[in-house]
Amino acid sequence: GLKQEPDTLSDADQNSAFVCMAYLSSMMATAQHANDRAKLRYSLLTEGRANRHDFGLYCFDWQLSYQKVARIVLEFGRSNPVYLQQPAHKLAIRALQTAFPCR
């Protein structure tokens, strides 16, 4: 058969990696939208007296690459296997909240 290089992914692994990155991309975009919306609502509720940048649902580093986000989620899942039985978004959000706590 064909010999694979150690750094090459099989077709199935490439597909899984693509699905993972697509999922994390949409989850991060949704979380960022929810965060921005919450900041706007906070500003409106305080009639602009409070700095909306002081408030956030999430304090993630929005500039992280999806590979780094995936690594954070995988490491968290390995350290906290109870989250592996929950929906993927709960695992991912909890992993990122743990890595980037607000204040």
For helices 11-45 and 66-79, angle between their N-to-C axes, nearest 10 degrees: 90
For helices 88-99 and 66-79, angle between their N-to-C axes, nearest 10 degrees: 100
Q: Where are the domains of the chain?
A: 11-99
Which are the contacts of 77, defined by CB distance < 8 A and separation ≥ 6?
Answer: 83, 84, 91, 95
Query: Is residue 51 pLDDT above 60, yes or no?
Result: yes
- pLDDT above 70 covers a percentage of the chain that reads 89
Task: Look at 40-44, 46-50, 83-87 and tell me which has the smallest mean pLDDT.
Answer: 46-50
Q: What confidence score (pLDDT) does residue 6 get? A: 56
Q: Average pLDDT of the chain?
A: 85
**Contact predicate 39/55, CB 8 Å:** yes
Q: What does the pLDDT look like over 19-47, one tens digit per residue?
A: 888 999 999 999 999 988 888 888 888 88
Which are the contacts of 9, defined by CB distance < 8 A and separation ≥ 6?
Answer: 17
pTM score, whole prediction = 0.73
